[in-house]
Amino acid sequence: MNEFPWLTSIVLFPVSASLAIPFLPDRGNHHVRWFSLGVCLIDMVLIMYAFGHLYDPQNPYLQLQEQYDWAPAFHLKWSLGVDGLSMCLVLLTGFVTTLATLAAWPVTRHPKLFHVLMLAMYSGQLGIFLSQDMLLFFLMWELELIPVYLLLTLWGGKKRLYAATKFILYTAVASLFILVAALVMAFYGGPITWDLQALAMKQYPLGLEVLLYLGLWIAFGVKIAAFPLHTWLPEAHGEAHSSTCMLLAGILLKMGGYGMMRISMQLLPQAHAYLAPWLVIVGVINIVYAALTSLAQRNLKRKIAYSSISHMGFVLIGIGSLTDAGLDGAILQMVSHGLIGAALFFLAGSTYDRTRTIMLEEMGGLATPMPKMFALFTAGSLASLALPGMSGFVSELMVFLGLVTSETYSVGFRTITTVCGAIGVILTPIYLLAMLRQVFYGMPSRSRIAVQQLMDAGPREVFILGCLLVPTIGIGFYPRLITQIYHYDAGSQPTSLLESTQGTVTVADARGQVMKSPPPWDGGLLA
């Protein structure tokens, strides 16, 4: 335990500080935007201090643990902790949220409420990645839904009510499966507990594990936009404000992948081993289906949204590969897409602010009046299509290596899934480069005078995009900037969150204790 509650301070500071926003002077958005940005920067400093001075990247066990009795009658504890997996996403959350707050600089309609919701969302997302109590995890999961719904409803586009309603129906109903699974695991055998470490030590019949895993798959699959639970995402991205889109693409999608790794994989290892091939199959479907759908989109934001769905397919493949390389690639892909997705949606929002249209056929010829925006959009698109030297290339390569080297699956299964996944990789540059051509090349669809009067990217926009693209390139050239946080040196146990051995699949829990499960499936899928 720590003398000072660092993690509690990191989680509660943004939402606590937001309570002061209603008392700020009513002078447009000048005071509130500086206040909100200051809160994000202070919390980011706390995160960086915890990472730089308190967190040990070479320690594979749970660190900075804090536990306080919250509601003893319900066995609920305020229990927080951090390891390599959660630290990566906490850093990503702080970084992207700070930039999204800066991206919301022009918001002038109800700015106080807007920034209160942004900060509340910030706390909820941090709480999800740091919770070590399953009921607390569920409460944070639900807390995060309310700000997103209101941000969509009040600051969205013409179809904002439809998009917000679809989002809340999908996510709220799916979240109930987390509560049901938590109740079953907490009350099954032994003392009642919500603690993740204690739940990881419980043994369940395989049939019950599979049912629990499938229920959690629905909840986490909706969040990660896995086929066929993905349809809320294009609607939400198509209508949300650009800063909200940055949070949806940069952080919210990662909650699903994190839940699969932290809850499904580590608490239900036998079911994970048994159902892992289906994760790979769904991941491949995500990649190919979303890439083909993105190719047909005429709406810029929806095109990028389907691109996000496609890229999340690599996370599913990495989790289902049952190899260290695949899981490492899945984590790196979440970080990489968090940066790239946030950059692309900010670029789409900035383009809309100038052209007042989001339809591709109404654009064209924007490269001449907006050369900086053109260069930044090109860099973001090249990063998204996994150009060598960018973070996306490294993460996708690790996922494919994890899949093709997996000894769990047969050669035929690995070959088919890898080839199908590669088709999606080929389609990605086609629709992204076509998007660039439609937006920036050719003759402008509107009058040449109107196009020539468009303003290029300003200093604030260049700064935000630079902050997102520079680490994308840095990770591409030196992936250990991120992988060293969660993949430990040889000799420490475990070497990663998942270790694959011949004949067994071992899944390490947050404390590094290893649980063994039988090999998944037979009938031709196994080597």
Sequence-distant (≥ 6) Cβ neighbours of residue 462 within 8 angstroms: 372, 376
End-to-end C-alpha distance for the chain, whole angstroms = 45
Q: What is the DSSP letter of 409?
A: S
Q: Please report the pLDDT score of residue 49 as a whole number.
A: 92
Q: Please report the pLDDT score of residue 449 as a whole number.
A: 40
Q: What is the pTM of this model?
A: 0.89
Q: Please report the pLDDT score of residue 488 as a whole number.
A: 52
Across the chain, which has 527 residues, the per-10-residue mean pLDDT values are 81 94 82 92 93 84 86 84 91 94 88 92 93 92 90 87 90 91 88 87 89 94 90 88 90 92 91 92 94 90 92 93 90 93 92 86 85 92 90 92 88 91 90 90 62 77 94 92 71 40 34 33 33
Q: Please report the pLDDT score of residue 451 as a whole number.
A: 60
Give per-residue burial for 202-219: e unless 16+ CB within 10 Å, then b.
Answer: eebeeeebbbbbbbbbbb
Q: Which two tokens stand for residue 24?
A: 């700020």
| Strand duo 63-71 + 504-508: pairing | unpaired
- Bond into 25 cis (ω within 30): no
Q: List residues bridging with 69 in a β-sheet.
A: 77
Three-state DSSP class for residue 69: strand
Q: Please report the pLDDT score of residue 203 as a whole number.
A: 87
Contact 482, 332 (CB under 8 A): yes
Q: Please report the pLDDT score of residue 495 as a whole number.
A: 39
Q: Please report the pLDDT score of residue 109 as a whole number.
A: 85
The residue to which tokens 């990489």 are assigned: 336
Q: Using alpha carbons only, give the angle 367, 245, 422 rounded to the nearest 5 degrees.
A: 75
DSSP characters for 189-243?
Answer: SSS---BHHHHHT----HHHHHHHHHHHHHHHHHHTT-TTS-THHHHHHHHS-HH
